């Protein structure tokens, strides 16, 4: 893994080399702040908590995370740099993990830049900062799970847009699985036990558990597993299609 760090550094700094990253961060901040105040009515709720913010993030991530991930492999394949990359003394796993972690770190930066919201509720009242911390942690892990899916879909096609759309669709399904309205529909023709399992596969129930302030090993393992599965699929797809 000696080449992990240079790869990570290149990918991570790569985000900041192009103006797209800054545009992305600005739009993400506006969207999240906008949702929190205008849809979530943080101020009028008169409650010192970031629940309105955390409630909208799973839906915002649906667009923003695949947008971060779509470039990762599609661009390498389109420009042919993948051939350069995999003829350097770099293993597939190293490259996959480095790219993923760089994207994750970038999302972490974007998420951390929402800190004015945290300052705001602390200025206005006395929130439970433990719960807020847990909320951020949950968001970060969920972003990781979304990103691993996006890495995988990015490797499927040379076209970033296709990778993006596939990423959004798969993530959307994974969000839906934990969403009450959707499982109610499923419940009309599937047995209850199966519904239970299906809703456990979705992102949202695990995210909500963490964001309530209860850090449970099972939810963490779920997200880590989701990330590992996404990246394994990513590796498989790359092995099969890197040269095509």
Partner 1 sequence: MKLLKAVTTTSSGLAILIVAIVSLNIISSKLAFRADLTQDKVYSLSVGTKSILKKLDKDVTIKLFFSRSIKELPIPIKTYATRVEEVLQEYKSLSAGRIVVEVIDPKPDTDDEEWALKYGVSGVRLPKGDQMFFGVVLLVGSQEIVIPYLDPRREEFLEYDMSEAIVGTLRKDRVKIGIMSSLPVMGSGNAMAGQEGDDTWAFVNDLKRNFNVEKIESTVQEIAADVKVLVVLHPKNFAESTRYAIDQFVLNGGRLIVAVDPMSRTDLQINSAEMRTSGQMPKVNSDLGSLFQAWDLQYDGANMVGDPTFATQINAAGTQTAYPFFMSLGEANLSRNSVITGNLKMMLIAEGGSIAHKGGATSRFEPLITLSKDSGVIAGAMAAYMMPSDLSRDLKSDGKEKVVAAMITGKFPTAFPSGKPAMEGDTQANPSRPHKTTNDNETSIVVITDVDLFADGNAVDKFRFGQQIMVRARNDNLNFLVNAADFLGGSEDLIAIRSKGRIARPFDRVAEIQKNAQQRWQSEEEQLTSQLTDLQKKLNDMQAQRTDGNRYVLTAQQQSEITRFRDEERKVKQKRREVRKNLREDIEKLGRQVVAANMLFVPLAAAGLGVAMFLRRSRKYRKDRHGVSK
Partner 2 sequence: MISVSKLVKEFGAFRAVNGISFDVPKGQILGFLGPNGAGKSTTMKMLTGFIEPSAGTASVGGKDVVKDSLAVRRQIGYLPESAPSYGEMTVSEFLCFIAEIRGKRSAAVRQAAEAMRETCDLSAVWNQPIETLSKGYRQRVGFAQALIHDPPVLILDEPTDGLDPNQKHEVRNLIKNMGSNKTIILSTHILEEVEAICQRVVIIAHGGIVADATPSELRQQSKFHNAVTMKIAPNQIEKAKALLSNIGGVAAVELLGIDNDTLRVFPKQGEAIALRISELSRKENLSIHQLQVEQGRLDEVFRKVTKSDNLNQKSH
Q: Count of alpha carbons within 13 Å of 39, Cβ hemisphere only?
A: 16
Q: Does 46 bind partner 2 (CB under 8 A)?
A: no
Interface residue with partner 1, options 63, 105, 113, 169 (CB under 8 A): 113
Interface residue with partner 2, options 34, 80, 116, 125 (CB under 8 A): 80
Shortest reach from residue 143's CB to partner 1, in Å: 18
Q: Which of 158, 184, 17 is nearest to 74 (CA)?
A: 158
Which lies closer to partner 2 via its Cβ, residue 16 or residue 38? 16
Q: Which residues fall within 8 angstroms of residue 91, CB to CB, at 6 or more apart?
A: none
DSSP 37: I
Which lies closer to partner 1 via its Cβ, residue 3 or residue 49? 49
Q: Does 93 bind partner 1 (CB under 8 A)?
A: no
Which lies closer to partner 1 via its Cβ, residue 159 or residue 232? 232
CA 166 from chain centre, in angstroms, equals 14
Q: Which residues bind partner 1 (CB under 8 A)?
A: 16-17, 19, 21-23, 25-26, 29-30, 33-34, 36-37, 43-44, 46-49, 113-117, 120, 123-131, 133-134, 178, 180, 183-184, 187-188, 192, 195-196, 199, 205, 208-209, 213-218, 221-222, 225, 228-229, 232-233, 236, 239-240
């Amino acid at each position: 893994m000696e080449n992990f760090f240079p790869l990570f550094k290149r990918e991570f700094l790569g985000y900041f080399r192009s103006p797209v990253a800054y545009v992305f961060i600005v739009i993400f901040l506006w969207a999240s702040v906008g949702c929190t105040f205008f849809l979530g009515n943080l101020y009028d709720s008169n409650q010192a908590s970031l629940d309105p913010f955390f409630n909208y993030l799973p839906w915002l991530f649906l667009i923003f995370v695949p947008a971060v991930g779509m470039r990762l492999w599609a661009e390498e394949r389109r420009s042919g740099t993948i051939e350069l990359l995999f003829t350097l003394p770099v293993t597939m796993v190293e490259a996959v993990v480095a790219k993923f972690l760089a994207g994750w770190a970038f999302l972490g930066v974007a998420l951390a830049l929402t800190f004015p919201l945290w300052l705001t509720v602390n200025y206005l009242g006395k929130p439970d900062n433990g719960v807020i911390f847990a909320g951020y942690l949950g968001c970060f892990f969920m972003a990781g799970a979304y990103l691993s899916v996006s890495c995988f879909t990015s490797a499927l096609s040379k076209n970033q847009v296709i990778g993006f759309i596939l990423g959004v669709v798969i993530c959307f399904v994974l969000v839906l699985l934990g969403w009450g309205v959707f499982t109610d529909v499923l419940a009309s023709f599937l047995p209850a036990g199966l519904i239970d399992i299906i809703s456990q596969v979705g992102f949202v129930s695990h995210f909500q558990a963490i964001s309530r302030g209860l850090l449970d090993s099972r939810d963490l393992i779920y997200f880590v597993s989701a990330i590992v599965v996404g990246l394994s699929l990513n590796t498989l797809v790359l092995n099969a299609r890197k040269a095509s």
